[in-house]
Structure 1
């Protein structure tokens, strides 16, 4: 049995989904990044349902979504303070795939933030998602709408397949346009007392774009968080976004041995695709934006084949390629 699926293009469906959120239920909805599993962020009982549906450990915080602009609920509902750099980044990249980790307001339950004094917040660019947030009138805590640690969902069908009846309602907004998660930026106090931004999770807004917006280079953290400890950012554990099939990473498809029993995920067309049991090419022209949009769906298709193993070719280490390599590294971790 699966959740009811309604079209996000239908205003009546938006209204129904908003009512589910206000009443403490769970709604899966499409954004420009991936599909989220939403609950009223100010209702601890509703938030607990998110953790139960995903089998998500409570040390991993959730991202709170707001409609942005002058629409309620506003940022002050969940955030106690906005550093100058955070304000500049919000003005430049919201609505969009950027999450800011900020001091939390008292109204935000500890369950949302893993007991930390900070809360992760973003304003999505997806108009159906923002319509839902405006109609709900409450901040919505929403991690990816899948079982914890698995491949992120980029279509409503992925959500229905993975979570089934654990969700009250799925709003189908079509395939996600960006296709990978938001960039997460936190703020640390340096020796001089200034609050400096740090990329805690690479994502759809590149480090280069962030640096250009602030006029300086921003540090990017690519290490793994300690398992079991409260996480400042979601998606920072060593193993995440992972298929069921064992995955290895290579720099060139020609490195793969015994390819006849292996599925290949490639950025560009490989020189000899016929060597592989299956091959998914993400961009014939080397377009990282195109590759990101199809990344998770392609990985899902390969994983569904039941092959003994998969291999993926690493992406160029710049722009969106840095975020895609981060996802590959965590997906391949043992």
Structure 2
């Protein structure tokens, strides 16, 4: 694997990205940063290259990929030639592109079938990351790119996390430092009478509702976990470390009691080495029997943003530290970015999320 570390030297960066773009044009796999997580890219027009993504990630074949574009002029190469985006689509693109919003469109004939298995729709987004857009522009093709991790593992927000999972099976890695948002993009299906959120992410329900004159609702599987997922990829296990993840949200006193009960439970069927993620004022107020090196206080101000940004990195760090269990102070899942964070924690914990 060739790895390019980018910095302040524009000439070096341009040369590195040109090399990475050449690999993409040649049907190779290149991981690169976005504002959400690192993506594993291949030309969305090259079926053989797209299939390499599935093999490298060990990704189920019916799990569609998101196509990334550098600007709106590239959108035409993704969509049918006679298709015109709706007024709502245009309002959303104007408001949130570049940014962490994936919109579903009818798919054009040029896009590799493996990108959109079992569906005639394709997810498209324009990342809010200069390096990502420059790489896509230099490649001169739309880039199919899921998260650059082994399927089921926590998504990578650093280049080292990409190398840990995929360093032996991909061709290139663009290292431009940690990602800013930390959770994946919102996936949105715009219908005639409503806008349907298939995956919550960096663009919230409230933000979308402020832009379009349609009701904005969540897909049923996000509310009722037993409901079938409309998007195939939503049915798979995601974001999970090796350690068991436990999440509580509600009143701080009750979260403390629940955490303490687990930590002191004599009936736990394994030797407990617990880690904890919580607001800094919570950890300073409540004393919990957790090793100091496994306690991660996050700033209470905008805690949901801090949790989103650092969650995947911390899950990997705790695995490296040998934690058996990870206790997480959750956030309100019905408000703002909390919906996306708790959606990821629901999957990472295997459903061990409790309101207290």
Q: 1:118 to 1:57 in 2, by over 3 A?
A: same
Q: Distance in 1 between matches of 2:328 and 2:242?
A: 14
Matched, 1:147 2:156: no
Correspondence for 1:299: 315
Aligned residue among 178, 182, 192 for 1:179: 182
How big is the shift at 1:167? Answer: 1.1
Correspondence for 1:232: 231
Contact persistence 2:17–2:138 (CA under 8 A): yes
State the TM-score, normalizing by the size of structure 1. Answer: 0.90
2:190 aligns to what SS in structure 1?
strand
Structure ID, larger Rg: 2
Correspondence for 2:5: 7
Contact persistence 2:59–2:150 (CA under 8 A): yes
Correspondence for 1:191: none
Q: Distance in 1 between matches of 2:273 and 2:286?
A: 15
Q: Distance in 2 between matches of 1:62 and 1:123?
A: 14
1:185-200 pair list within 5 angstroms = 185-188=188-191, 194=192, 196-200=194-198
Q: Distance in 1 between matches of 2:124 and 2:218?
A: 19
Correspondence for 1:314: 330
2:52 aligns to what SS in structure 1?
helix
Q: Distance in 2 between matches of 1:155 and 1:222?
A: 32
Residue by residue over 1:212-254, the C-alpha shift from the partner in whole angstroms, topping out at 9 and shown as x without a partner, is 1114540012616999x996364x1252111111112222143
**Alignment: residue pair count:** 322
Matched, 1:29 2:32: yes
Aligned residue among 36, 56, 59 for 1:56: 59
Residue by residue over 1:16-66, the C-alpha shift from the partner in whole angstroms, topping out at 9 and shown as x without a partner, is 000000000000000000000000011000001000000000110000000
Correspondence for 1:326: 343
State the TM-score, normalizing by the size of structure 2. Answer: 0.85
The runs of 5 or more residues in structure 2 that have no matched partner are 8-12, 250-254, 264-271, 352-356
Correspondence for 1:289: 305
Q: Which moved more, 1:9-18 or 1:258-267?
A: 258-267
Contact persistence 2:44–2:143 (CA under 8 A): yes
Q: What RMSD over aligned residues (CA atoms) do the two structures have, in Å? A: 2.2
Q: Distance in 2 between matches of 1:164 and 1:120?
A: 26
How big is the shift at 1:110? Answer: 1.7
Q: Which moved more, 1:202-211 or 1:257-266?
A: 257-266
Residue by residue over 1:66-93, the C-alpha shift from the partner in whole angstroms, topping out at 9 and shown as x without a partner, is 00144xxx10111233222112111110
2:211 aligns to what SS in structure 1?
helix
Correspondence for 1:96: 99
Q: Distance in 2 between matches of 1:31 and 1:329?
A: 24
The runs of 5 or more residues in structure 1 that have no matched partner are 189-193
Q: Distance in 2 between matches of 1:195 and 1:77?
A: 27
Q: 1:195 to 1:215 in 2, by over 3 A?
A: closer
Correspondence for 2:243: 245
Correspondence for 2:115: 112
Q: 1:290 to 1:309 in 2, by over 3 A?
A: closer
Contact persistence 1:226–1:237 (CA under 8 A): no
How big is the shift at 1:4? Answer: 2.1
Q: 1:66 to 1:263 in 2, by over 3 A?
A: same
Correspondence for 2:267: none
Q: Distance in 2 between matches of 1:202 and 1:126?
A: 20
2:167 aligns to what SS in structure 1?
helix
